[in-house]
Amino acid sequence: MSTNKPGARSRARLSDKELAFFENTRACACGIIQEVKALTYWIDDPDQLAIALGILEKAQRIRVATLEWERERKVVVMAA
């Protein structure tokens, strides 16, 4: 006989809304990263290239922060 309370499994996972948020944020950040990488081949001006690389770095930070937040949230949800 299981010692888990009814509904315990549902508490051990993220809600569909949370999962959709994380997936959408990651997808947007990855899309920005890919588009800026493609643009860097067309940019000749060093100042414009620096701006594009700044955008790339910010998108990468968003992606990493989202992944870390998702991992932390999963740990908190599973510990509850």
User: What is the pTM for the complete model shown?
Assistant: 0.66
The answer to which of 9-13, 24-28, 64-68 has the lowest mean pLDDT is: 9-13
Q: Is it the case that residue 9 has pLDDT exceeding 50?
A: no
What total number of domains does the chain contain?
Answer: 1
Residue 18 in this model has a pLDDT that exceeds 70:
yes
Q: What share of the chain is helix, strand, coil (3-state, %, to 5)?
A: 80, 0, 20
User: Strand, helix or coil at 43?
Assistant: coil
Which are the contacts of 26, defined by CB distance < 8 A and separation ≥ 6?
A: 63, 66, 67
Whether residue 32 is predicted with pLDDT greater than 80 in this model: the reply is: yes
What would the two tokens of residue 21 be? Answer: 């948020």
For residue 72, tell me if it sits in a domain: yes
| 63 vs 4, higher pLDDT | 63
Q: What domain range includes position 36? A: 15-79
Residue 24 lies in a domain: yes
